[in-house]
Structure 1
Amino acid sequence: MTKYSVMSLMSVRPLNIARRVQNGDGSVVTTNSGGDVLAQGGNDEGLRGEPADLPSSVDVLVVGCGPVGATAANLLARDGVRVLVIDKATEIFTAPRAIALDNEALRILQLAGIGDKDFDTIAIPYVRMRSPWLGEFGRVNTLGSVDGHPKLVTFYQPELERSLRARLAACETAKTALGVTLLSLDDQGDHVVASLDIGRQTPYNVRATYVVGADGASSLVRQLIGQTFEGKTFTEDWLIVDASHVRDPIDHVEFICDHRRPTPHMVAPGARERWEFMLRPGETREEMESDARIRKMLAPWGGIEAMTIERKAVYRFHARTVKAFSKGRVFLAGDAAHITPPFVGQGLVAGLRDASNLCWKLACVVQGRAAPRILDTYDQERRPHVKAMIGLAKFMGRLVMPRNAGVALLTHGLMKLARLVPRFRAHFDELGMKPKNVFRRGLFVKCVKSRMVRGAVIPQGWVRDREGQIRLSDDVLGTRLVLAGFGLDAGAALDATTRTAWTSAGGAIVQFVHRGQKLHRAETACWEDLDGVFMPRAVPFGWAAVVRPDKTILHDGPISDVSRLVREALQLLGAPGESSDPVLQFVSPSA
């Protein structure tokens, strides 16, 4: 995998938006947005000419080129979708913001083409909670990996954004326009007209089949479609300090749960660390962000003279979400749709889950491989899990910032006692309390007879082909619908008509075999399950699964029934030529 450096980011440039300026002698110079001269001559009538390279029509317009918007654009472009990404900023914000990613987020970035060689991370072995009176009363084990990735890492957000934009620049169907501001959206039923401020006297209109608003917590897209946040703003303000060149960085994450000054503290790549200090009554932003107060706050950790303060900011935590993640042809993702308190490190992770869930559905619809109705499942699938994660973050917040000494002693004491019971200790220490990303309703076939969990993500493991090439299984599945056979070739059991329909819908066929299984002949791409991730741990021999591009299990059953499984999956998707079956409705909570 190619390593993208800062120099490679130079290829991720604003679109050459032509600007014509009249000189004092009456001549006209045409420049791009970077000031480079494109042409000379003519007259100022060219000020009303069309901007170079900016498309007038795209499949998807993505508003916001932060990590969520850039990930969404990469996922869409990898599927051949014509996508335009705009952002009002002309450069990446260089101060660190998000700092934590879990194994699910890393797996989504893998799907978007970003691997562990593209940006630096630090795997976190554990997260501990300490009381000044009781010592350690809680510890979460994050050592090890799940689905081919560490359970928890910290990272440097500007580096991740550079890698995402560099990857996006290599996609032929993607355009990036920086320094461009959204003015309005007009949903006309079969498309949306977006009015953009590109620095000219008149707005520039772009026609998009769909719009994705990933423009942050103050989202203009959210405001334009009339969505408002519901939820809680915490009354406490927090000072966030990011520093590099830390003399003796820690190797984990800790929460110093002192009611007088709760302080989360964590390590990050590049000898960096982050501290979050809750403000006391009467303390002001100006006072807390002063150099003198920063030095005083960091003094207990030593080496303040050698540190470089990269960011210092006071802000208030929020726990909010919108009533619906979409309206018409406009969708919200990331902080534009929900804001999660930082106590469980799930803010950016939730936004990446949004992108993964939404973008393959958009790709299938705009390319005519599925019916538009599948887009309704984006809100059905994502909003309940977002609310559950916000609930967990609020619970953790109560542990971190107790109101007074009595509440702190009671809460932390009960936690410490509960961990003496093995069942409770395992539930807390091994992330048992983290809400599973398993859908109760959405785009999967109702469970009648299943050996797998439909609406859940299929495991990932290391697999090997006949030539000895070793890859992660998600890279084998790719960004397409896949019929996976386990032990046997599911493709061989498909009837000719169903195989043709599956191929027309963009579906592929893959076979996974157990380690050591040698096949003399197989027409289907065949991969050996090296670690037993699939068989027998997750699925029995001779089983088949229809897997969505976001790696969610859509349908499963014995390979002997594979033609029926594929037909029912295609009917649910509304694939061309497949009539709607009333039995195959999106799964509701009562199903």
Structure 2
Amino acid sequence: MTTIKEETPVDTFIPQQVDVLLVGLGPVGAAAANLLGRHGVRTLAIDKAKEIYTAPRAIVLDNEALRILQMAGLEDGAFATLAVPKVEMHSPLFGNYARAYTAGHVDCHPRLVTFFQPELERVLRERLARHACVDTALGVELTGFEEHAGGVRATLLLEDGRTQQVEARYLVGADGAHSRVRRLAGIAFDGKTFSQDWLVVDAVDVPVPIDHVEFICDPRRPSPHMAAPGNRQRWEFMLHPGETHEQMERPEQIRRLLAPWCDADRATIERTAVYRFHARIVDRFSAGRVFLAGDAAHITPPFVGQGLVAGLRDVANLCWKLAWVVQDRAAPAILDSYDAERRPHAKSIIQMALWMGRLVMPRNRLAAFGVHGLMALLQAIPFTRSYFQDLKFTPPNRFRRGLFRPGRGGSRLVRGAPLPQGLVRRSVDTPCVPSDDVFGQALALVGFGCDPALQLSPGLSAQWEAAGGRILHLRHRGQPGDVARSWEDMTDALVPDAAPVGWVAVLRPDRTVMHDGPLDQLDRLVSEALTLLGGPDPAARPAAARAEAGPQLAA
């Protein structure tokens, strides 16, 4: 097992056979490697670069992304973040014509934060040392692969010029916008490239601090501006035709650009880069035994800060399904749900970003007058004002079809959508912990104010255990119960806000509601959920495999 450190070279160990070959160790790939490691999947993660990419890239995460990083093993405070209280849209014609309030928490995480991407990547890579089933190899490049009945035979180019073949049951490409995995798999990547280039400037110790995000929507030069951890600030400036990268990155030009905000001589310019933004998505997220995630599958314009978030949603959705298949807990057919669930939502996020881009960078003053004037008018109407201020325009991460039982069970739970996260505790003498940490890396059969373990038939209980399931009893606050077998919801986020007392739900390891209904229909619900997984008969599985299936009752 090799630990990756940004400044330290690593020895290259290439196993000949793994369950998953993961190509790309950026933030999405590193998060995927940790998720696979937590599920106990034999994984080889490679990257052709030997060091973490330090140019300015992603800077914003939302509560969903933070929750996924929590699933990947990053506790609160594992990397520095700065909670953003508001996002403002400023027009030279109409002033602050729109704003969104982002203070507060959702699912035990801030609604919006900024962060420093190299630090996040370093932490994710260091955490891989905790997973003996994950091997990493830097300076190693995928040159080709062949798919066969049992898996994928990949050819790797090592740093010393040698080649080596690796047999993997599945191949995951998280290797960025220029993904070689995508090209070798023959997956189309269509979309739009913006004609404008943008200069990104990260500065440290800026003498005029801010605590929020602002979009200066001036058609002469749109300029997003935001605060970040470590006393950083970021600006993005749209380049005009004829302005070159070299001209715009000169210190004197950067000083001129920053002059409206601060004296750049009193700040330290940490990083600069020029990017051209894209809006693209593949026509399918998988081909046979090959899967794409992150920028390899979709590129989102940065105006809503959802690019990295979308990639994290990808791997949270995919990795547990790969784990369940390679560990014989589910049928390979469940992998088809990855494309069905993720591609529609990723496409809707791209469309939202394009819409936001039209607000940020109007083509001319006339367009700015029309668009910003309309937005200013809508801010005077309570309904439309709250629609923007409360971020109701963001497409919810709910699946229209996929690996869940269609329909509604009659509670506030939505099948195909995430279960909220709350704080729970064993008793008054024990600390509160986030409920996702209690659910762990398993399927979860959750009883809201009731204990499903007392009602589930013995045969189904054995099948549930074989499918990698566990059983949890959540008590509403103040409800008596066996503290050794149940958890008390201290925030009402689960009982009764999500589901009433006497209700049960089947949760996937990515916290998506697979099925739900009243306790008196428990056996039917569990049986139907197991049918969705399509796993083998537990009695036919080897004893060792059954033993590895995981606990059936939360400890």
Give TM-score, length-normalised by structure 2. Answer: 0.94
> 1:133 is matched with which residue?
93
Decide whether the 8 Å contact of 2:7 with 2:51 is kept in 1. no
**Aligned equivalents of 2:365, 2:159: Cα separation in 1:** 56
Q: 2:463 aligns with which of 501, 523, 527?
A: 501
Of residues 256, 271, 278, the one that matches 2:216 is: 256
256-265 or 289-298, which deviates more = 289-298
Task: Return the match for 1:482 from 444, 452, 455.
Answer: 444
* SS of residue matched to 1:300: coil
Query: For the structure 1 residues 458 and 92, does the alpha-carbon distance in structure 2 shift closer, same or farther, using more than 3 Å as the test?
Result: same
1:362-511 aligned at under 5 Å gives the runs: 362-447=322-407, 449-451=409-411, 452-466=413-427, 467-511=429-473
Please state how far the C-alpha of 1:88 moved relative to its aligned partner: 0.6
Are 1:16 and 2:14 counterparts?
no
Instruction: State the one-letter code of the partner of 1:494.
Output: L
> Within 1, Cα distance between the matches of 2:11 and 2:241?
50
Aligned residue type for 1:463: V
Amino acid corresponding to residue 482 of structure 1 in structure 2: A
**Equivalent in the alignment of 2:139:** 179
Task: Quote the Cα distance in structure 1 between the aligned partners of 2:247 and 2:483.
Answer: 70
Q: CA deviation at 1:11?
A: 9.8
Please give the alpha-carbon distance, in whole angstroms, between the structure 2 residues aligned to 1:323 and 1:123: 35
From 503, 512, 536, the equivalent of 1:543 is: 503
Aligned to 2:549: none
| 1:442-487 superposed Cα distances (whole Å, 9 cap, x missing partner) | 0001215432210000000100113523100000011110000000
Amino acid of the structure 2 residue aligned with 1:317: F
CA contact (8 A) 1:462 1:470 kept: yes
Q: Which amino acid aligns with 1:429?
A: Q
Deviations 1:488-513 (A, max 9, x none): 10111100100010011110000111
| Structure 1 residues not aligned, in runs of 5+ | 1-7, 18-52, 580-591
The 2-side partners of 1:533 and 1:201 are apart by 55
| 1:576 and 2:541 are equivalent in the alignment | no
Matches within 5 A, 1:140-219: 140-219=100-179
Unaligned runs of 5+ in 2: 540-555
Cα 1:570–1:262 shift into 2, 3 Å: same
**Cα distance in 1 between the residues matched to 2:125 and 2:342:** 25
Please give the residue correspondences for 1:312-351 in structure 2 after superposition, counting only pairs within 5 Å: 312-351=272-311
Aligned to 2:475: 513
Give SS of 1:396's match. Answer: helix
What letter is aligned with 2:424?
V
Contact 1:459 1:533 in 2 (8 A): yes
Query: 2:194 pairs with 229, 234, 244, which one?
Result: 234
SS in 1 for 2:214: strand
CA distance in 2 between counterparts of 1:448 and 1:109 reads 29
Question: Does structure 1 retain, via aligned residues, the 8 Å contact 2:6–2:122?
Answer: no
Query: Does the CA contact (< 8 Å) of 2:55 and 2:272 recur in 1?
Result: no
How many residues are paired up? 535
* Structure 2 equivalent of residue 40 of structure 1: none
Query: In structure 1, what is the Cα distance between the partners aligned to 2:161 and 2:416?
Result: 50
Equivalent of residue 74 in structure 1, options 34, 41, 44: 34
CA contact (8 A) 2:84 2:213 kept: yes
**CA, structure 1 residues 262+12, in 2 after alignment: closer, same or farther (shift >3 Å)?**
closer
- Whether the 8 Å CA contact 1:15–1:175 is kept in 2: the answer is no
Letter in 1 for 2:11: N
The separation in 2 between residues aligned to 1:468 and 1:488, in whole angstroms, is: 21
* Contact in 2 for aligned 1:14/1:177 (Cα 8 Å): no
Superposed counterparts of 1:27-66, under 5 Å: 53-66=13-26
TM-score between both structures, scaled by the size of structure 1: 0.88
Q: In the alignment, which residue of structure 2 is the partner of 1:588?
A: none
Which residue number in structure 2 is paired with residue 34 of structure 1?
A: none
**Matching residue of 2:315:** 355
Counterpart CA distance in 1 for 2:342 and 2:239 is 33
Residue 234 of structure 1 and its aligned partner are, at CA, apart by: 1.1
Query: Does residue 94 of the first structure (1) align with residue 54 of the second (2)?
Result: yes
Match status 1:284 vs 2:280 = no
The alpha-carbon distance between structure 1 residues 411 and 201, as it changes in their structure 2 partners (threshold 3 A), is closer
Supply the distance in 1 between the matched residues of 2:159 and 2:55 (Cα, whole angstroms).
26
Query: Which one-letter code corresponds to 1:511 in the other structure?
Result: H
TM-superposed deviation, 1:416: 0.9
Deviation at 1:190, TM superposition (A): 1.5
CA-to-aligned-CA distance 1:260-281 (integer Å, 9 cap, x gap): 0100001111111111111122
Residues 317-371 of structure 1 show CA distances to partners (whole Å, capped at 9, x for unaligned) of 1000000001011100000000000000000000000010000000000000000
The code of the aligned residue for 1:308 comes to T
User: Root-mean-square deviation (CA), in Å?
Assistant: 1.6
Q: Map of 1:265-304 to 2, 5 A cutoff?
A: 265-304=225-264
Measure, in 1, the Cα distance between the counterparts of 2:95 and 2:85.
19
- On the 8 A contact 2:4/2:10 being kept in 1, the answer is no
Deviations 1:365-389 (A, max 9, x none): 0000000000000000000000000
Deviation at 1:116, TM superposition (A): 2.4
- The CA deviation at 1:303 is 2.8
Alpha carbons 2:55, 2:273 under 8 Å: kept: no
Aligned match of 1:529: 489
Change over 3 Å in CA distance of 1:13–1:505 after alignment to 2: farther
